[in-house]
Structure 1
Amino acid sequence: MKSLVLGGARSGKSRLAEQRVLAYEGERPIYIATAWGGNGMDGDAEMQQRIKKHQQERSSRFSVVEEQLHLAETLTKYDGIGVVFLVDCLTLWLNNCLHHKVWQQEKSALLELLPQLKGHIVFVSNEVGSGIVPMGELNRQFADEAGWLNQALAKLCDQVDLVVAGCVLNLKKGVL
């Protein structure tokens, strides 16, 4: 099962994704955290607080892997029968890849790998295309790339949900 959970900031998307992953009884849940800052890397104080809040709220059942750039490589390393991945968050990963100028190759690697994964996976991503067109070329590139990534993943995923104010709207139905 491949699932994509979309939503805005503080919408409840991570909570839903964590619940979905932990519902796979008997499988090994692996949380892949993509934010900078959780492992001593660059990150501002506010981002450090966000990361800390996620860590405190996260179930101890998760094995946590921090990976800010090479998502497909990390998924390949830990993939197997009996594994369920939670990748939180794709838009932070996109930001990291754009910053390090590795976006196209990393995106291609993920999209190529996804149909071959043995384990279950739940992706978390921000829906950023519902607002105004951002000012600044990099901001527009980010919004465009996030939209295209979400579309590509939605096509490959069995289930897609949008979370708004803690309420879930199923966009594409899968079977848990």
Structure 2
Amino acid sequence: MMVLIIGGSGSGKSAYAEEYIGRIAGKGNKYYLATMQVFDKEGKKKVARHQRLRKNKGFLTIEQPIEIEKTLPKIKAGSSVLLECISNLTANEMFLSEDTKKQTRSYTEVTDSVVEGIQSLKQKAGHLVIVTNNVFEDGIAYEEGTMEYLRAIGSINEKLADMADEVIEVVVGIPLVIKGGK
């Protein structure tokens, strides 16, 4: 089963995803695939906060900022997997150089790569919960590199929503089932 959880920044989507996977995993293995690369103090604070929030929840954490399929040998088949999050993974895949402002791959290359990696992960996991961000809701036109990044996330989100058994949007901490559900 694959579940896509989407929401804006600070919407409560990560906390909801952790609670959700805790319910469906039961006593089985739970993996937390962390995709954030830390570049500054703010990033360190965000990672530390997420680590505190999931402490004692039984997750086996795997740090994998790019090429999510490389986690497959580390994951026991049939396990529950939480992938946090698509926006970080997409940025990491799109801006592979040390210069994080220099785009190294097109949005179509990145979209294909990320979706293929997740398809492989879906085949191995018993339950796969993916956290992603809403994009294009602010109505602002950004510089071209940022627009390419947003197009990639939008395209990935569409493909993942199509692949998912359930799609849940979290708004101010309230989950709204968009697809599937019971």
Please, what TM-score do these two structures have when normalized by structure 2? 0.86
State yes or no: 1:169 paired with 2:176: yes
Report the residue type matching 2:116 in the other structure.
A
Q: Following the alignment from structure 2 to structure 1, what is the Cα–Cα distance between the partners of residues 89 and 140? A: 21
The superposition leaves residues 20-53 of structure 1 with CA deviations (integer Å, 9 ceiling, x where unpaired) of 111121211100000012xxxxx11111101111
Query: Which residue identity does 1:93 align to in structure 2?
Result: L
Query: Residues 79 and 119 of structure 1 are in contact (CA less than 8 Å); yes or no, is this contact kept in structure 2?
Result: no
Give the C-alpha shift of residue 131 in structure 1: 1.7
1:99 partnered with 2:101? no
3-state SS of the aligned residue for 2:130?
strand
Letter in 1 for 2:60: S
Identity, in percent, stands at 28
Indicate how the Cα distance of structure 1 residues 149 and 87 shifts in structure 2: closer, same or farther if over 3 A, else same.
Answer: same
Runs of 4+ in 1 over 6 A off after TM superposition: none
CA RMSD of aligned residues (A): 1.7
* Matched AA of 1:98: M
Long gaps (5+) in structure 1:
38-42
- The amino acid across from 2:87 in the alignment is T
Indicate yes or no: 2:59 matched with 1:59. no
Q: Distance in 2 between matches of 1:117 and 1:174?
A: 22
Give TM-score, length-normalised by structure 1.
0.88
One-letter amino acid of the counterpart of residue 141, structure 1: E
Deviations 1:89-135 (CA, angstroms, capped at 9, x unpaired): 11001000001136255324225425523421100001112121432
Give per-residue Cα distances to partners, 1:130-151, cap 9 Å, x unaligned.
1214320011011111111000
SS of the equivalent of 1:130 reads coil
Structure 2 unmatched ranges of 5 or more: 97-103
Q: Kindly indicate whether the alpha-carbon contact (under 8 Å) linking 1:31 and 1:86 is maintained by their aligned counterparts in 2.
A: yes
Q: Which SS does the other structure have where 1:161 is aligned? A: strand
Q: Which amino acid aligns with 1:86?
A: L
